[in-house]
Amino acid sequence: MDAAVLVRADTAVASTQLPSPYLLFMGDVVEPGFAKTALGLRDWAGERCVGELALPGARVSTGLPAMTPAAAVAAGARAMVIGVASPGGAIPASWLPALQEALAAGLDLISGMHSRLGDMPGLAAAAERHGRRLHDVRTPPADLSVGSGLKRAGKRLLTVGTDCALGKKYTALALARAFAARGVDATFRATGQTGILIAGAGVPIDAVVADFVAGAAERLSPAAAPDHWDVIEGQGSLFHPSYAAVSLGLLHGSQPDVFVVCHDPTRIGMLGVEATALPSIAAVIAQTVALGRVTNPAIRCVGVSLNTGALDAAAASAAIAATAAETGLPVADPIRGGTAFDALVEACLA
């Protein structure tokens, strides 16, 4: 995918210029939901990825060639990206030898974690010693304002979810690409570290102080031409006990005209808090409309995006049909595409 089709860097959004190609660092991750940065870069910026480096015990792979940092440099890599997004965004001490090895081999380090690379023992000194740089993507602008709630020109779509890490970013990227293919003026607006790495611009919304989340979302999708669409990457879930506050601030600041609910029909418990059951799609629609009306009384749901990656084609089609019958809305898996996705796109633009 050509990210330039989706994103135009502007003065309202921090833009990143990061060295690539990348070696993707998988750490010791065992849950695919926590490897979303590596998997997202593989799927949406694969031309910038040369391979992966995993520690013993890791059970998630991008399918890219396994490489040492030295081999990655020989293959043209210029940086190693931490491809894991763990709860709390901490960099464990057990990763430090691999990060040090990457610097010594001649790679910059890129991180979307809450922990700052320069605060990790020895990394700043190693970077200076080897002439490399440390890049922290999860750093919001320093001059954010609180949200105003004022209506602004342009059209906005927000992806929301029944849980974390189940397709909000992929759905937003796919919709932005589909809008552009139809000649619609559209911009993908990244709100998480992976989206920012893919697009080159955005605001890491979960790193913003709570009072300024809505204001950050307003800046991310500023006033635009009446026929311009901002397709905004959602975060978390209004029902997630850990991340609902981020989701709410993003909803209020985005002021979406329409939203698409993202859901994984195979998931039972919420990611990271598995004892908490997923809400129904109907509950998410009702909650999003009720809370979204605070800043946009006309907000409405236009469809559902299903993540059917764990299902075969027949089961996926059955899940899509059942969800459409249950909700009365267009339902599709954006990655599978097809006529169902075309119908979802048309419903968004209607």
Residues 6 or more apart whose CB falls under 8 angstroms from that of 171 comprise: 159, 260, 262, 305, 334
Looking at domain 155-349, its CATH superfamily turns out to be: P-loop containing nucleotide triphosphate hydrolases (3.40.50.300)
Distance CA(249)–CA(264), nearest Å, equals 23
17-136 and 155-349, same CATH topology? yes
What one-character DSSP code corresponds to residue 104? H
pLDDT at res. 90: 85
- Residue 232 contacts by C-beta under 8 Å, 6 or more apart in sequence? 156, 157, 158, 159, 172, 189, 191, 217, 220, 221, 250, 254, 256
CATH number of 17-136, picked from 3.40.50.720, 2.60.40.1180, 3.30.450.20, 3.40.50.1110: 3.40.50.720
Directed axis angle between helix 338-349 and helix 168-181, to 10°? 80
Supply the pLDDT for residue 101.
Answer: 98
What torsion do the CA atoms of 225, 143, 14, 129 make, to the nearest 10 degrees? 170
Residues contacting residue 191 through CB under 8 Å, at least 6 positions apart = 202, 203, 204, 205, 217, 220, 232, 233, 234, 235, 250
**Bridge partners for 27 per DSSP:** 54
The domain ranges of the chain are 17-136, 155-349
For the segment 204-247, what is each residue's pLDDT rounded down to a tens digit? 999 999 999 999 999 999 999 999 999 999 999 999 999 999 99
- Amino acid occupying residue 129: R
Residue with tokens 């595409």: 337
Q: Which residue has the tokens 């909000």?
A: 168
Tokens of residue 72, six digits: 């990655």
Contact, 26 vs 84, CB < 8 A?
yes
Whole-angstrom Cα distance, residue 103 to residue 130? 7
Identify whether the C-beta of residue 272 lies closer than 8 Å to the C-beta of residue 153: no
User: Token pair for residue 343?
Assistant: 């119908």
The CA distance from 214 to 192, in Å, is 15
Low-confidence ranges of the chain (pLDDT < 50): 1-13, 15
Cα–Cα distance measured from residue 312 to residue 302, given in angstroms and rounded to the nearest whole number = 26
- Residue 100 is inside which H or E element, if any? helix 96-105
E strand map for the chain: 22-27, 49-54, 79-82, 108-111, 134-136, 155-161, 186-189, 229-232, 258-263, 269-270, 273-277, 300-306, 331-332
pLDDT at 223: 97
pLDDT score at 16: 57
What is the pTM assigned to this prediction?
0.88
**What tokens appear for 328 in the block?**
């009365």
